[in-house]
Chain A
């Protein structure tokens, strides 16, 4: 290659062969790229000659401009406005721009041209390799694939979250069983809503568990949205506290378990266990699963920070963070469902066995969904 170049050069500028080879001093006094060392006046560079870079630019500028217009339109109005022909042209124009840039970096000394090409190629790169799906396709693939997959990925953290919750449940139950005064240590009076060891069986059964339906607006809009906000805040907290190495997540899950355990113990002592389970589980299955998923997402993040493994912490987070976030968004959606059931449907169904049936159905549904959806994409 080098010999070839040298020969080519020799043909171009035969005078140069007369130069003394490898004489460092000469290089500085007479720049080596001076082909007319012997006779400077005769080899005056005719400036009327068109520059190579100018010809290069003239030839390719139309395709750059076309690409520029296409990208501007994609940026403004989205990919859908492209016609079929333009959609076919886009990658070709993009590759033309890439090759122009590669060439320009080596042969063009016009800063504005190379800067323009750098910018054009970058924008084209983003347009060509950017997200290609539209919103509905994204939603579809999220619920069909990403969400259940993320939960399968977070199996370990999910088990830990479940354990923390179950331990809390047991602890709450036994503490209240052993000493009724412990009830208000677990559930503050403001949240208990009259449900405490002093409450009568009648109150618990008729005013809480089988309370009459309060009408569409109050149940579906007010109460459901309150519940959704409250629960998803807890879920977000679970996820966010994952950054604090996950310990607060476990505490939070444990506390929620204790609350449920204490309520269970209360109804146990009043002989309302089955009715209470029906009342809680119709929405609780979805709600608690969502809480566990959120907790698992937080613990997953914590695991990545705590045990980075071979990769660095940052890289690890980048790799696994989106999985945890997908689980989290799914959990928020589950909480929306739970909020609608708790706020709206629960009091519409005024008997324990239908409630238990629906609870069983949702449990089966979620487990089936978590375990078996989107498996084809994993292979």
Chain B
């Protein structure tokens, strides 16, 4: 355990951390969303770069063909076009597409106001103007001045590029300089699908459970069972069989359960257990897991901050795996 676990958590926290952001909507509810990871954002940026390049090529061909420009004018036209596209591509799309660009759309990313209100045009302008200063100018300076002497300025420029690249690694929600100024954050908004209700399937339950059977487990085990059942997709896997046997042993279930009946058994157990736990909740009693005693609902509210929940998590994998939502295929 020790060293290795620590090493991995360090790695996860600093290089590919999964961050969640809480927004309070005007209705008073706290909504949680996953902050886009750096790799997703770089991928979107590269996709946008390719799109911009393609756009310039098409316009140049079109321009040269229709207006019969000579080569000198084409070069001027190209340079102006590239300049305009570089400056206004992101601005245009994030304004017109409500916080998305083609690349972000493919990666299902979206720019939102990190305080939860409206994403105003000036915020979009701020985050995209800064993009010029952050990336495009330093890079252009590097290409034009590299090897032309003046090592001091090239070094300073390199340092600046390095700093802007490192900034999203060290800031809390992968803020770019532009996000810091604009008050925005890039989040992932996947489209989840509603899966069928597992309890719905076992209307004619063959396995009957009494309240002593059901009184042992709590919310955590129920959720884990749900996950296992959904992952198995109706086939009896060795791990599912192991889960079933463990449950039978733990609740001291007295009727025999065949191997081929394992999934119906687990589904019935899931439906019965969920029925009991949900009814108990209505009466204000909540049991978090098999190891914790029943408590009053609202006595010690479960931690809302998923970022903290992730760091302290031992049993529950749910917060860390939230991005593994059943997603809609494109």
Question: Which A residues form the contact surface with B (CB < 8 A)?
Answer: 5, 8-9, 12, 27-28, 30-36, 40-41, 43-54, 57, 61, 64-65, 72, 78, 95, 98, 101-102, 106-113, 115-116, 118-123, 125-126, 129-135, 138, 141-142, 146, 150, 217, 221-222, 225-226, 228-229, 233, 236-237, 239-240, 243, 301, 314, 317-319, 321-326, 328-329, 332
Contact = CB atoms under 8 A, between A and B. Distances in A.
Contacts of A12: 283
A109 B126 contact: no
Contacts of A146: 121-122
Given A113-B197, A318-B181, A130 B118 contact: yes
24 contacts: A28-B293, A33-B211, A33-B285, A36-B211, A40-B211, A43-B210, A43-B211, A45-B275, A47-B208, A51-B271, A98-B27, A107-B278, A109-B278, A112-B226, A113-B194, A115-B325, A116-B192, A116-B194, A116-B195, A122-B23, A135-B92, A135-B96, A318-B183, A325-B129
Given A33-B287, A95-B27, A323 B130 contact: no
Interface string B291-304: 00110010000000
B137 A237 contact: yes
A89 to B, nearest CB: 17
Contacts of B177: 243
B125 interface: yes
B192 A120 contact: yes
Nearest to B156: A244
Given A47-B205, A119-B191, A322 B27 contact: no
A71 to B, nearest CB: 8
Interface in B193-210: 193-195, 197-200, 202-205, 207-210
Contact of B99 (A109, A130, A142): A130
Contacts of A30: 215
Given A131-B95, A229-B79, A101 B275 contact: no
B277 A110 contact: no
B133 A240 contact: yes
B77 to A, nearest CB: 7
A48 B207 CA distance: 11
Contact of A322 (B183, B192, B276): B183
Given A129-B26, A328-B129, A110 B210 contact: no
B121 to A, nearest CB: 5
B326 interface: yes
Contacts of A107: 278, 281-282
B210 A44 contact: yes
Nearest to B326: A112
A226 B230 CA distance: 62
Contact of A111 (B114, B212, B226, B294): B226
A123 B211 contact: no
A176 B112 CA distance: 53
A64 B177 CA distance: 38
B165 to A, nearest CB: 15
B277 A321 contact: no
Contacts of A226: 76
Nearest to A132: B118
A321 B126 contact: yes
Contact of B271 (A47, A106, A233): A47
B33 interface: yes
Interface string B267-289: 01001101111111111110100
Contacts of A33: 211, 215, 276, 280, 283, 285, 287, 294
A321 B95 contact: no
A237 B140 CA distance: 12
When A and B form their complex, which 4 residue pairs have the shortest distance between CB atoms, in order from nearest? A240-B133, A321-B181, A325-B126, A318-B183
B29 A52 contact: no
Contacts of A78: 97-98
Contact of B181 (A44, A141, A322): A322
A5 B284 contact: yes
Interface of B: 23, 25-27, 29, 31-33, 72-73, 76-77, 79-80, 83, 87, 92, 95-99, 110, 112, 114, 116-127, 129-130, 132-134, 137, 177, 180-183, 189-195, 197-200, 202-205, 207-212, 214-216, 219, 222-223, 226-227, 230, 268, 271-272, 274-285, 287, 293-294, 297, 318, 322, 325-326
Contact of A221 (B80, B189, B193, B278): B80
B283 A9 contact: yes
Given A47-B202, A47-B275, 8 more contacts: A36-B210, A45-B272, A47-B268, A98-B29, A121-B25, A133-B121, A134-B96, A325-B181
B123 A322 contact: yes
A233 B214 contact: no
A321 B32 contact: no
Given A118-B31, A318-B181, A111 B318 contact: yes
Given A112-B326, A116-B192, A323 B122 contact: yes
Contacts of B209: 44-45, 47
